[in-house]
Amino acid sequence: MIKGILLGAVSLLPSLSHAAIVGEFLFGKTKNKYHTYQDYDLGDSYSSSLDSDSFGFRLGYEFSEYLSIEVAKHEHGESVNEYTATIPAQFPGDYETSWDVRVPIEVESIRLGAKGKFEVYQDFFINARVGIAHWEYKDANPAHLVPTDNINEKESGDDIYGALGFDYQFTDHFFLGFEYSVLGIKESKEYDYSGVVKYKHDIQDLSIVLGWRF
């Protein structure tokens, strides 16, 4: 679905006039908030809040002074979840079993959306963004944070993202900005042996934006 939307947006570009192309690099930090729940047996759950490095590239088409459409690729970095898993004794005389678990999670997203901006002072703008993000986990996903038979199974999907920011136009072609964006992933899936596993992953990016207009 996301590929069809991207092709449709690109096909409209030649018909628009009085416009500018904008390219942006984003560097910053991602706050990853995880909550995973296994609706099976003891109902194991796991929550964490971890930081990772983030990087992005964005290409926009300004077809008016205040509105543009954009396509972006974001790498939200890798966050490593570490915890101790425990299986209690089942029968008298048995011993509790525990082991250390290390789950690195890395996610990326491709975003298509709209940007609106408003000049609040000479060369100083505030902006807001909203659109659809196609996200994909590169290897492990948050379902791995509880005991599950979800082995080497990549997950992907589409969700809404939003962002707020500001930028300062310090030359005719270059500007520097700051942006806060949010993307919420919420999934539920039933596995053969571990029952229903639900997880929520809130991705909050805080980025410095370096851009140029041409």
**In this predicted model, which residue has the larger pLDDT, 86 or 60?**
60
Vertex 209: Cα angle to 14 and 56 (nearest 5): 70
Q: What is the pLDDT of residue 12?
A: 47
Q: List beta partners, residue 212.
A: 23, 174
Give the residue with greater pLDDT, 57 vs 196: 57
- What is the domain extent for residue 149? 1-8+34-65+78-154
| Total number of domains constituting the chain | 1
Torsion 55-159-178-59 (CA) sign? positive
Q: Check whether 177 has a pLDDT greater than 60.
A: yes
**How does pLDDT run across 138-159, given as a tens digit for each residue?**
989 998 888 776 665 679 999 9
Q: Torsion over CA of 116, 210, 156 and 106, rounded to 10 degrees? A: -150
**Residue 166: inside a domain, yes or no?**
no
Residue 99 lies in a domain: yes
| CA dihedral sign of residues 34, 189, 183, 2 | positive
* Residue 33 buriedness (CB in 10 A; 0-12 / 13-18 / 19+): middle
CA distances from 213 to 10, 57, 66, 93, 169 (A): 18, 14, 14, 72, 10
What is the chain's length?
A: 214
SS3 at position 6: helix
Looking at the domain assignment, is residue 114 inside a domain? Answer: yes
Render pLDDT for 3-59 as a digit per residue (tens, 0 to 9). 554 455 555 444 455 589 999 999 999 999 999 998 765 567 899 999 999 999 999
Cβ–Cβ under 8 Å, residues 63 and 19: yes
86 burial (CB, 10 Å; 0-12 / 13-18 / 19+) is: exposed
**pLDDT of amino acid 17:** 54
Q: Looking at per-residue confidence, does 152 or 209 come out higher? A: 209
In a domain, 112, yes or no: yes
Q: State whether residue 142 is helix, strand or coil.
A: helix
Residue 43 located in a structural domain: yes
Contact present, 63 and 18 (Cβ < 8 Å): yes
Residue 15, pLDDT score: 47
Global pTM exceeds 0.75: yes
Measured distance CA(173)–CA(170) in Å, rounded:
8
Span 87-108, mean pLDDT?
Answer: 77
Q: pLDDT class for 73, splitting at 50, 70, 90?
A: very high
Q: Is residue 16 part of a domain?
A: no
Look at residue 183 and tell me if it is in a domain: no
